[in-house]
Amino acid sequence: MDGRPIGMFDSGFGGLTVARALIDLAPHEDLVYVGDTGRYPYGPRDLDEVRSFAVQIARWLIDEIDVKLIVVACNTASAAALDTLRALLPVPVVGVIDPGVRALAKATRNRRVGVVGTVGTIRSGAYQRAIGALPVPVELVPASCPGFVEFVERGETRSDQVSVLAERLLAPVRDAGVDALLLGCTHYPFLARTIADVMGRDVVLVSSADETAFEVRAILGASEPPGVGSGALQVFSSGDVAWFRAVGSRLFGGELGEVGRLTWPDPPAVAEAAPGARPGAASG
Ligand code: DGL
């Protein structure tokens, strides 16, 4: 039995959708969540830069928290850094892209699907490659949705402005006749009602959160009892912690408790990152 916590990170609040799914599926696992709100959004950034952030956070989770597994609860970071993290780190690393594609393949009937994500995720081609690797041909209509993450980070998930933006960005995907749409950004499930209004009732919205949680449980052995911790959730943010706690609790649908503050030094280039780059100060 390995009582160490699971580590999880995202650029901000989005990964809380994955945290929620994991807590529901494995309620006895302890979880340490890092929301890198001091450096969000990741979506418009260069993928090399996102990769260096991901390595830095993952190293901190291993060196300071001693996690047994890391969940990259961010599509942009998964697209940029998953292979690097798996090569560098001594613990299993789970991303959200392959679980999302598996869920999407299960949901579609007409084999024409959409994926929406950040500019970085869509431009990386990670979804295009993952769908191309499916055993049956599936036609993909990808679309990046700049602006969605900012609405979520402001806690603004239902407003006229976000509806107008959603109509503009999603209409081409809807009009292409997809029957399933993958929310390829962990922030987007918070906009599910707005997105569903645009896509219509016949399009199934798919999130990678549940499938990712299943993958974590499978890696941990799916053994019973599931986990030996107390189900504690510890949250850290590199931004304003009071704000993270307030908005995060609302989005998460439950109290996040005290949020610890992380201050990062400039991240090292990935090649130099192996020994670890620790934050200048961290308090629980
Ligand atoms: N939540 C992240 C994702 O899944 C990215 C949000 C951001 O742009 O920082 O892609």
Helix (H), strand (E) counts: the chain: 11, 11
φ, ψ of residue 30 to 5 degrees: the values are -80, 145
Residue 94 structure tokens: 């789970």
Q: Find, among 134, 10, 13, 22, the residue nearest to 78 by Cα.
A: 10
Q: Which atom of ligand 1 is nearest to the CA of 186?
A: 4
Residue of the nearest CA to atom 2 in ligand 1?
Answer: 74
The torsion defined by the Cα of 163, 16, 206 and 194, in degrees rounded to 10, comes to: -10
CA distance 180 to 170: 13
Tokens 């969940």, residue?
71
pLDDT of residue 283: 35
Our mutation pick for probing the ligand 1 site, out of 71, 183, 185, counting the most ligand atoms within 8 A of Cβ, is 185
| Residue 107: Cβ within 10 Å count | 16
Q: 282 alpha carbon to ligand 1 midpoint, in Å?
A: 23
Burial class (CB in 10 A: 0-12, 13-18, 19+), 217: middle
pLDDT at 259 over 60: yes
Ligand 1 neighbourhood includes 41 CB (under 6 angstroms):
yes
Banded pLDDT at 230 (limits 50, 70, 90): confident
Q: Which atom of ligand 1 is nearest to the CA of 76?
A: 10
Residue 101 structure tokens: 């594609």
pLDDT of residue 277: 43
Enzyme catalytic residues:
74, 185
pLDDT of residue 268: 59
Question: What domains can be seen in the chain, in order of their start residue?
Answer: 6-95+211-283 (3.40.50.1860), 97-208 (3.40.50.1860)
pLDDT by residue (tens digit) across 116-170?
A: 999 999 999 999 999 999 999 999 999 999 999 999 988 899 999 999 999 999 9
Q: 22 alpha carbon to ligand 1 midpoint, in Å?
A: 18
CA distance 248 to 254: 9
Ligand 1 neighbourhood includes 186 CB (under 6 angstroms):
yes
pLDDT by residue (tens digit) across 162-220?
A: 999 999 999 999 999 999 999 999 999 999 999 999 999 999 999 999 999 999 999 99
Ligand 1 neighbourhood includes 187 CB (under 6 angstroms):
yes
What lies within 8 Å, CB to CB, of 117 at 6+ separation is: 43, 75, 76, 127, 142, 144, 145, 184, 185, 188
User: What does the mean pLDDT of the chain come to?
Assistant: 91
Q: What is the DSSP-derived secondary structure letter of residue 268?
A: P
pLDDT of residue 284: 33
pTM: 0.90
Ligand 1 neighbourhood includes 149 CB (under 6 angstroms):
yes
